Amino acid sequence: MTVAKREKIQQHYDEIAEVYDLHYDHPRGRTYHTRISRHVMEALPRGGALLDIGCGTGLFVEKYLHHGGSAVGIDLSRNMIERARRRCSCCGFTLGTGESLPFRDNSFDAVASLLVFSYVRDPESMLNEAYRVMRPGGAISICTLGKKLLTSGIPVLYKVSEKIRIPHVVMKDFGEHYYDEEDMRALFSRAGFCNVKVSWCSFAHIDMGDPLFNLAQRMEPFIERRIPQLTYNICVDAQKPAE
């Protein structure tokens, strides 16, 4: 992703920060985000020190705190960071990107990133940085749109929605890149992580209408287990080897 694209993402999220949470503050939004959060949470140690890369307004940080421990968030949008600070005043939030983390080596027990990785300009640098700041034995979990049947048309949809100016917090052409299981395993292994596990989640998507969403939600556990080609998000869990 080019610098221009990164600046476009930053500007967009600065502009919609005040209304971003409304996207998840209704039954579909809460259900969708909670399911993704649960996938990530299950892979992370409870009560540790968390770094959330692309933390947005602190939605996942808030959930992690409910299980004990502490958290730090980083995001490229200044206005999203301000919202996160109001949500979780006990936590530290920093302006920046995952490719260049302003933290010391071996600082965190856990690293999370939700719905961000497909926008990252240099995924190898982000994973190398995540590895560096994690303590030996620490865990990382990432959930992002994956390269599947239902996501193949999303870039075109985003381009069209931007051209006709559909008001939406995420429907923008950011030049995102989607990954499949083979891509993710290779990226995580090259960064030095071990015990890499890949799964798929989210057949019920937030932008579905209520009747379709409710039907998809009932089918979701079966789809995730048996027909993952029909899911939207890829989830990757891994560990930094213990010394």
From residue 100, how far is each of 3, 82, 90, 129, 183 by CA, in Å? 14, 20, 24, 7, 22
Tokens of 79: 């206005």
Least confident window among 64-73, 135-144, 170-179, 181-190: 170-179
pLDDT at 170: 55
pLDDT at 160: 47
- Angle ∠(80,127,141) on CA atoms, nearest 5: 70
pLDDT at 208: 80
- The count of domains in the chain is 1
pLDDT at 171: 47
How does residue 4 score in pLDDT terms, banded at 50, 70 and 90?
A: low
Which CATH number goes with the domain that contains 89? 3.40.50.150
The model's pTM is 0.87
pLDDT at 169: 47
Which position has the higher pLDDT, 144 or 209? 144
Give the residue numbers spanning the domain of 172: 3-239
Residue 158 has pLDDT above 60, yes or no: no
Rank 107-121, 126-140, 153-167 by mean pLDDT and report only the highest.
126-140
Mean pLDDT confidence for 96-118: 96
Cβ–Cβ under 8 Å, residues 91 and 73: yes
d(C-alpha 201, C-alpha 224), whole Å: 6
90-106 pLDDT per residue, tens: 999 999 999 999 999 99
